[in-house]
A and B are shown apart, each in its own frame.
Chain A
Amino acid sequence: MHPLLPGASPSRRTFLTAIGGAFVLGAVLPVRLARAEAQGPAEGAGALAPKPGTRVAAFLEIHPDGTIKLLSPFVEGGQGIATGMAQIVGEELDVPPSRFVVECAPPGPDYAVVNGIRMTGGSFSTRSSYETMRRLGATARDLMIRAAAARLKVQDSELTTSDGVVLHAATGRALPYGELAADALKLKPNEAVPLRDPKNFRYIRQPVPRLDVRDKSTGRAVYAIDQKVDGMLYAAVQHAPRLGTEPTRLANEAEVKAMPGVHSIHRLPGAVAVAADSWWRARKAVEALKVEWSAAKPSGIDTVAADFSSETMLAALKASADPGHVAEEQGDVAGAFARAAKVVEADYEAPYLAHAQLEPPSSIARFEPDGTLDVWLPNQMPEVFQAVSAKVAGLPPAQVRIHSPMLGGFFGRHFTYEAGNPFPQAILLAKATGRPVKVLWSREEEFARDAVRPLSFSRFRAALDAAGQPTALEVRTVGEGPIGRYFSMMMQTPVDPSAVEGIVGKPYAVPNRRMTFTKIAHPVNIAFWRSVGHSMNDAFYESFLDEVAGAGGQDPFALRMALLGGSARHRTLLTTVAEMSGGWRRGPYEGEGGMRARGLAMASPFGSETATIAEVSVEGGEARVHNLWIAFDPGSIVNPAIVKAQVESAAVLGLSSVLFEQIVYRDGVRQSQNYDTYPVLRREHMPKVHVRIVESGAPMGGVGEPGLPGVPPAILNAIAALTGQRIRALPIANTKLSAA
């Protein structure tokens, strides 16, 4: 169970404690202070926090021209949440979604609609706020009706609405919402308003066009990187080659200071910066700086030492003898192994990964004449960025305004990651220069400091009976996940759910199971990365399940179907994906241009369920994926077109990661600097992607991430079927594949 999942119910207080203790990250607030500040002032108008998602005026501006501005709790970064929110609110408010303008709301307690907190992540946005936002729309509609009733001196019950207009059928009178809004907002909201019968939905469950596609197709969409404020300086940075080291000497400062447009040169924590009158000039200058850096520790994995490498980190995870903590346990594992006819064992490993979103991160900081601070920055959690910005600036959070522009991709990139964000640098430079400052990281500096998906390791053992049926499964996971790093105070046990998700909580009825987690911290900045622990763990588990099938002489599809005996939902999904692909056939078989084979995988990420089949061939020692079939059950949906687009998008990231991606450390330094040394999926490797939505009616699950986890193992299983090679170390590019 994910600790942020609605239903797990961490209290608001628990979360705020987590902000103080972990998410604000040592660098900043003492726990008690953070809690008080995050909750707002202790007295005055802000003291009594509203129930999140109920105060209509905090969310809706209804304009006389009939347009509606919706202040959304969520930031739009490609997942379509702005359109989804307009559909949900518009459905109940009775205004077409196309008439909405959606912006990300500023920090404030009204927007804590994700189980009492606010974030855009964890595939939580729609499923956690769906009821709340429907109710908000319905409450606002009711206010319009009551304002119209007072104006027209009729009963509420005589009025109806249609597309943003209140109608009095008996007299033919009509009042647009825009004319009623001022009166309506003075009324006391009625919390018990009825919601629309889903049978009568016009916008929810429809493929409503996205609100932002035209702006995004014509260059008009504005991202953080596009923003400019009067009088600002541009800054570029050069980070220390090894995280944790500091600039000690600038050998050519005077020379660089004299370069064109240079305003000033600065030492920052772990970096140097140049402020100039253009970013290009700042970048040329900062890259010309000859910097001496403090020495890293010579060895070890408690810091990014001079000899730190992905290999030494992996070796440490493998070598650990710490038994760890139980993450999932059932039955008598020891007994099952003692009675086993056959035992299968395998180690699986996955590398560090970069987000590699196309928009390099930037931030603008501007101190106002009254001493308050404005910050424009890409973020998935405005209140936390406000708290950290305040600490860096030495201000109370209430004096920091956070502006959250559209994101040029995120995938988990834009949480606070200590040295992994440019906004503290912008604030320090604005303070030092007395001018507004925009810091933009070059792509190379982004690859140097992006927080990474953790390098991961799990050891699997299965016991099989004489019939080839798995009777026990034992998994030992060693490492660290981002929840343990940044949200540890929300964890009920020492088991980091983001390290074991995808290994625990699987639907298969293996009678005896024991999964453990042993924490070994990484010295590097680790991150949430699309589908988090599922991004590697389902690859491990589902690959190993195929190994078990092979050892037991069973077909992978038949074995899964048998192990899903108790779950109609999962069996339906498996049957659906088989049917989509023309019936399950593992192969190898003759395909266009050579032999092909298929692999299968299931995953249960973020409250949704997926079944995936991949079709693969091998060309020149490399895997070619031709088709991905994905049956996706998120319970119920809001926009089928956006859901399909998100599943395809997540599948592509899964494909890209399993084929190519890896951040490799050598001598304490990352070996990737740009897309030439960190290949991501290009058109030439793009398969056909077939997505079918299965609405089982189960509680609504997530959408943005769940398409990913089934893809890597389906491909790995297809490669094994085709070549006999079982790849247990990712990415696939590290293994030369044999011809089929």
Chain B
Amino acid sequence: MVSLTINGRQYAVDAEPDTPLLFVLRDTLGLTGTKYGCGIAQCGACTVHLDGQATRSCQVSLESVGDQVVTTIEAIEQDEIGRKVVEAWVALQVPQCGYCQSGQVMAATALLKQTPHPTDGDIAEAMTNLCRCGTYNAIAAAVRQAAA
């Protein structure tokens, strides 16, 4: 059994130590807001926060989580900045298919926590998640709005 702190709750998980956190969240714990896209840290759909850092959970093994605090999209509105990000996403009607947007919101929230007023360069550096619907410009506009 591995003990995890996720969204302020304690979980005991029974899985192989090399199981990616992504699949622990989705299949073992039923937290399906975090998405599987590529499994190789290319797309960012699986982005969660580990101690507040945006992290691609497909590359985090269960054994490596340790006592780091995990935050997923399910708890993002409990965070003040996360709530602002979500409101900006809604106000600017960012999502299309929406599949990448959990990861985008998590990446944006982590960015704004560290850099409350990001430049375009900061946004380009931090917001590297793929969006096949091409909502990149709407995402950047929403990040700016959430920062305002």
Given A278-B15, A279-B27; A681-B38 close (CB under 8 Å)? no
Instruction: Write the nearest CB–CB distance from B41 to chain A, whole angstroms.
Output: 9
Counting CB contacts under 8 A, is B116 at the interface?
Answer: no
Q: Are B124 and A683 in contact (CB under 8 A)?
A: yes
Q: Are A217 and B86 in contact (CB under 8 A)?
A: yes
Counting CB contacts under 8 A, is B55 at the interface?
Answer: no
Counting CB contacts under 8 A, is A432 at the interface?
Answer: no
Q: Which residue in B28, B101, B128, B138 is a CB contact (below 8 Å) of A682?
A: B128
Counting CB contacts under 8 A, is B50 at the interface?
Answer: no
In the complex, what residues of B have CB within 8 A of residue A653's CB? Answer: 132, 134
In the complex, what residues of B have CB within 8 A of residue A369's CB? Answer: none
In the complex, what residues of B have CB within 8 A of residue A356's CB? Answer: 132
Instruction: Write the nearest CB–CB distance from A678 to chain B, whole angstroms.
Output: 10
Counting CB contacts under 8 A, is B8 at the interface?
Answer: no
**CA A358 – CA B131 in complex, angstroms?**
7
Q: Are B28 and A214 in contact (CB under 8 A)?
A: no
**CA A112 – CA B141 in complex, angstroms?**
39
Counting CB contacts under 8 A, is A409 at the interface?
Answer: yes
In the complex, what residues of B have CB within 8 A of residue A357's CB? Answer: 97, 99, 132
Counting CB contacts under 8 A, is B112 at the interface?
Answer: no
Q: Are A280 and B23 in contact (CB under 8 A)?
A: yes
Across the two chains, which residue of chain B brings its CB closest to A80?
Answer: B96
In the complex, what residues of B have CB within 8 A of residue A359's CB? Answer: 35, 37, 97, 99
**CA A688 – CA B134 in complex, angstroms?**
12
- Per-position 1/0 for B1-44, Cβ under 8 A of A: 00000000000000110011001001110101111111110110
**CA A77 – CA B140 in complex, angstroms?**
22
In the complex, what residues of B have CB within 8 A of residue A648's CB? Answer: 134, 137
In the complex, what residues of B have CB within 8 A of residue A444's CB? Answer: 39
Q: Are B136 and A686 in contact (CB under 8 A)?
A: yes
Counting CB contacts under 8 A, is B57 at the interface?
Answer: no
Q: Are A213 and B94 in contact (CB under 8 A)?
A: yes
Q: Which residue in A214, A220, A641, A689 is a CB contact (below 8 Å) of B33?
A: A220
Given A219-B74, A676-B42; A360-B36 close (CB under 8 Å)? yes
Counting CB contacts under 8 A, is A674 at the interface?
Answer: yes
**CA A455 – CA B135 in complex, angstroms?**
27
Counting CB contacts under 8 A, is B115 at the interface?
Answer: no
Q: Are A212 and B137 in contact (CB under 8 A)?
A: no
Q: Are B93 and A213 in contact (CB under 8 A)?
A: yes
Q: Which residue in B40, B93, B127 is a CB contact (below 8 Å) of A683?
A: B127
**CA A410 – CA B37 in complex, angstroms?**
14
Given A358-B43, A649-B135; A443-B37 close (CB under 8 Å)? yes
Given A219-B102, A683-B128; A641-B40 close (CB under 8 Å)? no
Instruction: Write the nearest CB–CB distance from B140 to chain A, whole angstroms.
Output: 8
Counting CB contacts under 8 A, is A293 at the interface?
Answer: no
Instruction: Write the nearest CB–CB distance from B20 to chain A, whole angstroms.
Output: 7
In the complex, what residues of A have CB within 8 A of residue B15's CB? Answer: 278, 280
Q: Are A213 and B33 in contact (CB under 8 A)?
A: no
**CA A656 – CA B34 in complex, angstroms?**
25
Across the two chains, which residue of chain A brings its CB closest to B76?
Answer: A218
In the complex, what residues of A have CB within 8 A of residue B73's CB? Answer: 218-219
Counting CB contacts under 8 A, is A684 at the interface?
Answer: yes
For this complex, into which size category does the number of interface residues on chain A fall?
Answer: 35 or more
Residues in A335-380 with C-beta less than 8 Å from chain B = 356-360
- Per-position 1/0 for A456-499, Cβ under 8 A of B: 00000000000000000000000000000000000000000000
Counting CB contacts under 8 A, is B52 at the interface?
Answer: no
Residues in A187-232 with C-beta less than 8 Å from chain B = 209-210, 212-223, 225-226, 228
**CA A360 – CA B99 in complex, angstroms?**
10
In the complex, what residues of A have CB within 8 A of residue B45's CB? Answer: 358
Counting CB contacts under 8 A, is A652 at the interface?
Answer: yes
Residues in A672-712 with C-beta less than 8 Å from chain B = 674-676, 680-684, 686, 688-689
Given A219-B33, A278-B27, A651-B134; A443-B39 close (CB under 8 Å)? yes
Q: Are B36 and A645 in contact (CB under 8 A)?
A: no
**CA A682 – CA B140 in complex, angstroms?**
13
Q: Are A686 and B94 in contact (CB under 8 A)?
A: no
Across the two chains, which residue of chain B brings its CB closest to A219?
Answer: B33
Q: Are A681 and B134 in contact (CB under 8 A)?
A: yes
Counting CB contacts under 8 A, is A260 at the interface?
Answer: yes
Q: Which residue in B35, B40, B90, B136 is a CB contact (below 8 Å) of A674?
A: B40
Given A280-B23, A683-B128; A409-B97 close (CB under 8 Å)? yes
**CA A217 – CA B105 in complex, angstroms?**
7
Q: Are A408 and B20 in contact (CB under 8 A)?
A: no
**CA A360 – CA B40 in complex, angstroms?**
13
In the complex, what residues of A have CB within 8 A of residue B138's CB? Answer: 645
**CA A357 – CA B23 in complex, angstroms?**
20
Question: Top 10 closest A-B pairs, CB basis?
Answer: A219-B33, A652-B134, A216-B98, A78-B97, A408-B99, A219-B73, A78-B96, A216-B95, A217-B89, A226-B32
Residues of A within 8 A of B (CB): 77-80, 209-210, 212-223, 225-226, 228, 234, 260, 278-281, 356-360, 406-411, 440, 442-444, 641, 645-646, 648-649, 651-653, 655-656, 674-676, 680-684, 686, 688-689
23 A-B pairs within 8 Å (CB atoms) are namely A78-B96, A209-B93, A212-B95, A212-B98, A214-B90, A216-B98, A217-B89, A217-B90, A217-B101, A218-B76, A219-B73, A226-B26, A278-B15, A278-B27, A357-B97, A406-B97, A408-B97, A409-B133, A651-B134, A652-B136, A674-B39, A676-B40, A689-B137
Extra pairs beyond A219-B105, A280-B27, A358-B131 (18, CB < 8 Å): A212-B95, A213-B98, A214-B90, A219-B32, A219-B74, A221-B98, A226-B26, A228-B30, A280-B20, A359-B97, A440-B36, A651-B134, A655-B134, A674-B38, A674-B40, A682-B128, A682-B130, A683-B128
